[in-house]
């Protein structure tokens, strides 16, 4: 889990004074973005484009400053069901989850796209 740990450190290191709750939530967020859940990172970006947030998503992927999102926009991006699930898993209110994700999501996408491009969508799982 070395790569994920390194990304987790980068994401939480980019947020002002990350709490233990944010660190745990950042790990869950990275799992979503990297696992293919909700379409993984490409799926999240496509959802943002479909919901009128494509310009914001582009700032996260490309190099340069990231545009912020509101907690309400986070719910639009990942869905109420996922917000509720994360709230249960992390023992926080849905409002707190959305607020934390509004800080973490732009940083996570930025760190996962260091060259300013989305990674290729995996065509299937490969076993080693």
**What would the pLDDT profile of 13-43 be if each residue is shown by its tens digit?**
555 554 555 678 888 998 888 887 778 899 9
Number of residues written out for the chain: 128
Would residue 68 count as lying in a domain?
yes
Instruction: Report the domain count for the chain.
Output: 1
Inter-residue contact 100 to 25 (CB < 8 Å): yes
Interatomic CA distance for residues 53 and 35, integer angstroms: 22
Asked whether residue 103 is assigned to any structural domain, the reply reads yes
pLDDT, averaged across the chain: 81
Within a domain: 49: yes
The answer for residues whose C-beta is within 8 angstroms of residue 56's C-beta and 6 or more apart is 48, 67, 69, 73
Least trusted range by pLDDT, from 3-12, 23-32, 93-102, 103-112: 3-12
Give the range of the structural domain holding residue 79, as residue numbers without chain letter: 42-115
CA distance 10 to 85: 24
Give domain status of residue 4, yes or no.
Answer: no
Per the domain annotation, does 122 fall within a domain? Answer: no
- Assess if residue 35 is contained within a domain: no
The average pLDDT across 32-55 equals: 90
> What is the percent of the chain with per-residue pLDDT over 90, rounded to a whole number?
49
Better pLDDT: 94 or 35: 94
In a domain, 2, yes or no: no
Q: Is the pLDDT of residue 71 over 60?
A: yes
User: Region 81-98: what's the mean pLDDT?
Assistant: 95
Q: How far apart are CA 6 and CA 92, in angstroms?
A: 25
86: domain CATH number is 1.10.10.690
CA dist., res. 110 & res. 81, Å (int): 24
Whether residue 17 is contained in a domain is answered as no
Reduce the DSSP state of residue 66 to 3 states and report it: coil
């Amino acid at each position: 889990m070395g790569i994920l740990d390194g990304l987790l450190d980068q994401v939480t290191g980019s947020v002002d004074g990350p709490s233990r709750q944010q660190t745990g939530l950042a790990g869950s967020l990275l799992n979503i973005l990297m696992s293919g859940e909700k379409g993984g990172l490409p799926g999240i970006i496509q959802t943002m484009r479909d919901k009128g947030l494509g310009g914001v998503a582009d700032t996260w992927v490309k190099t340069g400053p990231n545009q912020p999102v509101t907690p309400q926009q986070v719910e639009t991006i990942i869905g109420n069901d996922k917000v509720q699930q994360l709230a249960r898993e992390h023992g926080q209110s849905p409002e707190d989850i959305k607020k934390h994700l509004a800080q973490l999501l732009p940083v996570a996408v930025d760190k996962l796209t260091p060259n300013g491009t989305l990674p290729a969508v995996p065509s299937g799982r490969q076993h080693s």
